[in-house]
Chain A
Amino acid sequence: DAKTTQPNSMESNEEEPVHLPCNHSTISGTDYIHWYRQLPSQGPEYVIHGLTSNVNNRMASLAIAEDRKSSTLILHRATLRDAAVYYCIPAVSTGANSKLTFGKGITLSVRP
């Protein structure tokens, strides 16, 4: 499985953009990059995923480096509700058990 490296924690101010980085230098060419987040006392929640191109949805944007060795999750305007642990996960696209392997993630704190 591809290894990921994320900072342990980040802080942001409310209503400011947040850029959450992830290094995944060993990712294979067919692995999608997923981001999930886990709010306090809840199950993980899907945020976004992509393969090569940058992706946008209602929650966030995902910027993927051209060499695919890193990606950045962008929250355009952080709210207090965005305080959570964010996981960057290379999702193996082949094999019988295409599972998600969660690392430690980034703990995002949002200041009012």
Chain B
Amino acid sequence: EAQVTQNPRYLITVTGKKLTVTCSQNMNHEYMSWYRQDPGLGLRQIYYSMNVEVTDKGDVPEGYKVSRKEKRNFPLILESPSPNQTSLYFCASRHGQRAYNEQFFGPGTRLTVL
């Protein structure tokens, strides 16, 4: 089954404790991205990757890092989480660069930073 998986689905952590949210897709997609969703603000793009070893900032990249060492994986790293990063996070992937291709989203990771 074609899918995007994320782990963990739920995470409660404390300020400053480094964490990684993993994202994996099994569709051989080139493009992957991370979004966060907050009430009243909708989904905002954090980082994106056009292909292996090619990553760039989205609209709200501060406090986040990403890497793309393999085509299928695109982890999101919070080196020193803060309470304002409490949010619902979604990973997404699609074939190619063009936005007219269907984008597949993961089930989400709900992060709480105390």
Question: Main secondary structure on chain B at its contact with chain A?
Answer: strand
Question: How far is it, in angstroms, between the C-alpha of A51 and the C-alpha of B48 when the chains are bound?
Answer: 25
**Chain B interface residue bracket vs A:** 20 to 34
- Assess the B50–A96 pair: CB atoms within 8 A: yes
Near A by CB (< 8 A), chain B positions 86-114 give 90, 92, 97-100, 102-108
Query: A104 within 8 Å of B by Cβ?
Result: yes
Question: How far is it, in angstroms, between the C-alpha of A100 and the C-alpha of B45 when the chains are bound?
Answer: 9
The A/B interface has a contact count, at CB < 8 Å, of: 58
Q: Which residues of B contact A45 (CB under 8 A)?
A: 105
Q: CB-nearest residue of chain A relative to B110?
A: A41
**Binary CB contact string for chain B from 45 to 60 against chain A (1 if under 8 A, 0 otherwise):** 1001010000010100
Selected from A42, A43, A46, A99, the residue in CB contact (under 8 A) with B48 is A99
Selected from A98, A103, A104, the residue in CB contact (under 8 A) with B99 is A98
Question: Main secondary structure on chain A at its contact with chain B?
Answer: loop
Question: How far is it, in angstroms, between the C-alpha of A41 and the C-alpha of B48 when the chains are bound?
Answer: 23
Q: A97-B56, A99-B45 are in contact. Are A43 and B90 (CB under 8 A)?
A: yes
Q: Which residues of B contact A51 (CB under 8 A)?
A: 100
**Binary CB contact string for chain A from 43 to 54 against chain B (1 if under 8 A, 0 otherwise):** 111100101000
- Assess the A49–B102 pair: CB atoms within 8 A: yes
- Assess the B42–A32 pair: CB atoms within 8 A: no
What's the minimum C-beta distance from B30 to chain A, rounded to whole angstroms?
Answer: 12
- Chain B interface residues (CB < 8 Å from chain A): 4, 33, 35, 42-45, 48, 50, 56, 58, 90, 92, 97-100, 102-108
